[in-house]
Amino acid sequence: MSRPPFLSRIEQNYPRLSKGHKKIADYILREYDKAAFMTAAVLGAAVGVSESTVVRFAAENGYDGYPDLQRYLQDMIRSRLTSIQRMHVSDTRLSDDKILENAMGADAEMIRRTLEQTSREAFRSAVEAINGAEHIYIQGTRSSAALANFLSLYLNILHPGVVCVDAFSASQIYEQLLRINEKDVCIAISFPRYSKRTITALRFARDRGACAIAITDSYRSPIAELAQQVLVASCDAVAFVDSLVAPLSLINALLAACARSQGDQVYDTLHSLEQIWTKYEIYDSSELAESEDLP
């Protein structure tokens, strides 16, 4: 397996590094999966240098401070970590007596980061592309399949040409994408560990001329590299489980923006749906009836 570009760059620059920076480089080359989740102070203590030396090391290697370097390392390894390794990393970050507070606090922090990271221009362009498309193909596998199904369910209310691409086999994916063209949009959703089927499906759609929109965790994600519009949502693992809170929040905002831009049309659609739901008793109305009988 080839070395990630960052590690290769450290190896190339190694002869020119100072003694302290060589200690940091040695540790990262050997233990980059651990270094990715260390603060500058902890990393410095681990190799016997000061926190400021670690910060300078990051800056001199082309990063906007140590947090930027740390995010790069985390992005690099997330797609490589097994479920067991992710559980181990999680154990070092969550304490037993405050697991509820830590887990929900982490989700809140991911929503905050998502709000900061997502390009407003890309968000507006994605809404315009979706509302102007003839057909919208939505692709996501494994845990991302839940997000794809959720987006498809509500986008189908707003748009008549929504296809949620099933990914049970590779042949099914291409059969469903067979007629995709430059008038269409393909929305791919993928988070570490990235799905090969999602990557190849988005590449197929892009090669057919469709507008490619990626919902993913990083601009360095393999589907981000294939997309015209990239919507970034933080998605760190809590234990071995992918946290989908921030991606779902981003999708909610996307749906709200698409609905708002349709104006009165969406009200007409919802009115028709409410009539159908009532006529065919789609929802249980007993609770509402009981509440209306209360004094």
Of 227, 240, 238, the closest CA to residue 190 belongs to 227
Structure confidence at residue 5 (pLDDT): 60
**DSSP SS3 for 238:** strand
CA R_g for the chain: 23
CB 140 within 8 A of CB 182: no
| pLDDT computed for residue 230 by the predictor | 95
* pLDDT, position 1: 37
Decide: helix, strand or coil at residue 229: strand
Residue closest to 177 by CA, chosen among 139, 140, 128:
139
Per residue of the chain (295 residues), what is the pLDDT tens digit? 344 466 667 777 788 889 999 999 888 877 777 788 888 999 999 999 999 999 999 888 878 888 888 888 877 666 555 544 555 555 545 555 677 887 788 788 889 889 988 899 999 999 999 999 999 999 998 889 999 999 999 999 999 999 999 877 777 888 999 999 999 999 999 988 788 899 999 999 999 999 999 999 888 889 998 999 999 998 765 555 678 999 999 999 999 999 998 888 888 888 888 899 888 888 887 655 554 554 4
* pLDDT for position 231: 96
**Burial annotation 85-96 (CB, 10 A radius, 16+ → b, else e):** ebeebbeeebee
**CA angle at 68 for the pair 65 and 74, rounded to the nearest 5°:** 140
Q: Which residue has the tokens 């003694």?
A: 19
Distance CA 209, CA 175 (A): 17
Question: What is the helix (H) or strand (E) element at residue 245, kind and residue range?
Answer: helix 245-261
> Which SS3 state, helix, strand or coil, does residue 137 take?
strand
Regarding pTM above 0.85, the answer is no
Query: Long-range CB contacts (< 8 A, 24+ apart) of 271-275?
Result: 273/157
- pLDDT for position 78: 62
Strands, E assignment, 116-244: 136-140, 162-164, 185-189, 211-216, 229-232, 237-238, 241-242
State the pLDDT at residue 286: 66
Q: In this predicted structure, what is the pLDDT of residue 295?
A: 47
Q: Which domains does the chain have, with CATH numbers?
A: 5-78 (1.10.10.10), 115-263 (3.40.50.10490)
